[in-house]
C-alpha cells in the first residue's frame, strides 16, 4: 500500500509572542484508510492572459484528490488567478476565484474533482506554473 504524507510548518514573529505550528497528515483516498497511489507532476509555460484549464476533472480517475500549485517566478509582478469551475478555456463564467499566487507563492488544497481548476496569468509573457495532483 502506498503511503504519502503532507507536512506543513509555519513560524512567525509578527506578534510579541513567537508562533510555531507544524502538522502532518497521511493522504488517503476518499472515505478510506487506503493511501493515494497516483501522482501527476507537471510544469507548464503559459504565454497569454487567457484563462486556461490547468487541471480537468477528466484527468483524474477518482472523486477526491489533493492539489499543489506553485508560482516559481521571482518577478513580484507575475501572478496567477486560480479559479475552480466548469469554465472551459477562455471563458470566465461559472468559476470562483480560490486564490491568487504571486511570485514564490504556492497553494495546497483537497479537491473534490467536481469542477476544473483554471488559471489566468497576469501577463502574456512566458510564465511557468508547476503543479502536482495526488489521487
Domain CATH number, residue 88: 2.60.120.1330
Say if 113 falls within a structural domain.
yes
Q: Residue 120 falls within a domain, yes or no?
A: yes
In a domain? residue 4? no
pTM assigned to the model: 0.88
Any domain includes 13:
no
Q: What is the pLDDT of residue 1?
A: 63
Find the mean pLDDT for residues 42-67: 91
Q: How far apart are CA 26 and CA 24, in angstroms?
A: 7
Tens-place pLDDT, residues 68-89: 999 999 999 999 999 998 655 5
- The answer to whether position 28 is within a domain reads no
Q: Cell numbers 502574456 correspond to what residue?
A: 124
Domain count, the chain: 1
Residues paired with residue 45 on neighbouring β-strands, in sequence order = 128
Does the pLDDT value for residue 117 go beyond 90? yes
**Cell numbers representing residue 118 in the block:** 483554471
Domain, as residue range, for 104 = 38-134
Residue 125 lies in a domain: yes
Q: pLDDT value at position 92?
A: 54
State yes or no: pLDDT of 107 exceeds 60. Answer: yes
Please report the pLDDT score of residue 18 as a whole number. Answer: 87
Domain presence at residue 126: yes
Residue 9 in domain: no
Q: How far is CA 94 from CA 41, 64, 91, 116, in A?
A: 27, 21, 9, 11
Amino acid at each position: 500500500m502506498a503511503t504519502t504524507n503532507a507536512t506543513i510548518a509555519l513560524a512567525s514573529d509578527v506578534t510579541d509572542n513567537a508562533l510555531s505550528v507544524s502538522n502532518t497528515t497521511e493522504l488517503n483516498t476518499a472515505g478510506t484508510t487506503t493511501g493515494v497511489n497516483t501522482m501527476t507532476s507537471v510544469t507548464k509555460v503559459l504565454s497569454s492572459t487567457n484563462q486556461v484549464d490547468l487541471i480537468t476533472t477528466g484527468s483524474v480517475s477518482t472523486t477526491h484528490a489533493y492539489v499543489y500549485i506553485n508560482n516559481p517566478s521571482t518577478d513580484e509582478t507575475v501572478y496567477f488567478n486560480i479559479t475552480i469551475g466548469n469554465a472551459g478555456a477562455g471563458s470566465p463564467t461559472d468559476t470562483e476565484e480560490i486564490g491568487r499566487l504571486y511570485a514564490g507563492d504556492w497553494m495546497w488544497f483537497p479537491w473534490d474533482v467536481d469542477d476544473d481548476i483554471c488559471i489566468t496569468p497576469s501577463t502574456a509573457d512566458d510564465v511557468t506554473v508547476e503543479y502536482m495532483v495526488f489521487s
